[in-house]
Amino acid sequence: MLRRRRPDVVATYEPGGGYGHPDHVRVHEVTTRAVALAATAPDEGAAAHTVPVGLWSAQGSDALRRAQAALAGGAVRAALGPDGAGLALPDPAQEPASVAVPDDAVDVVVDVAPVRERVLAALRAHATQVQAVRAVDGEPALVGCYALSNRLLAPVLPVESYRHAPAARVRTPPAPRRRSPGPPVRGR
């Protein structure tokens, strides 16, 4: 698929899957492997492929802390209304998610404002895992909020941030071994 579409950029989770979710960790592994395989010699008759730029999702730690602090503000309470009852705020003393990196380690920033409604709709599509998805206006540190099934409020930052993934090394798996059929098994 990557060879056929020939993307310039492939974005995925960082190795920890954002917050350790096993499906997200696996998405990182599969995406990284697919990019590495696409960069190997193409099959006969296939066009050569330039390796796309790999990006890992990241958030600047200071920006994330500001957004988490903004969750306690009036703009979020107004957006949540009565649905905010029972939602917990993140502990400011707790270390940010594994995607948090020093702000100056962020390599690519994409403005969320033009696609905010699509981002929030994507969160709402995971109704069994995500709740209280709301747009938040009037708060520069975030553009929305949501809670996972743990009822812990989380921010939607005004930018999606990424860092360049290290160049992947391709390791070709060994060819499958053929088993000898062995002697026929006779019934009793």
- What whole-number distance in Å separates Cα of residue 73 and Cα of residue 46? 55
Domain boundaries 2-164, corresponding CATH code = 3.40.50.10320
Residue range 128-146: mean pLDDT, rounded: 95
Q: Model confidence over 69-122: pLDDT tens digits? A: 999 999 999 999 998 889 999 887 776 666 789 999 999 999 999 999 999 999
User: Is residue 103 within 8 Å of residue 66, measured between CB atoms?
Assistant: no
**The amino acid at 97:** A
pLDDT at 149 over 90: no
pLDDT: which is higher, 161 or 182 = 161
Instruction: Give the confidence band of 172 by pLDDT, cuts at 50, 70, 90.
Output: very low
- What whole-number distance in Å separates Cα of residue 183 and Cα of residue 188? 15
- What whole-number distance in Å separates Cα of residue 61 and Cα of residue 161? 11
List the domain boundaries for the chain.
2-164
Q: Which of 8, 3, 85, 101 is nearest to 44 (CA)?
A: 3
User: Is residue 92 within 8 Å of residue 65, measured between CB atoms?
Assistant: yes
pLDDT score of 188: 45
Q: Average model confidence (pLDDT) for the chain? A: 83
The two counts, helices (H) then strands (E), for the chain are 6, 8
User: Is residue 174 within 8 Å of residue 67, measured between CB atoms?
Assistant: no
Residue 156: Cβ within 10 Å count: 20
- What whole-number distance in Å separates Cα of residue 147 and Cα of residue 151? 5
pLDDT score of 124: 96
**The amino acid at 40:** T
pLDDT at 63 over 80: yes
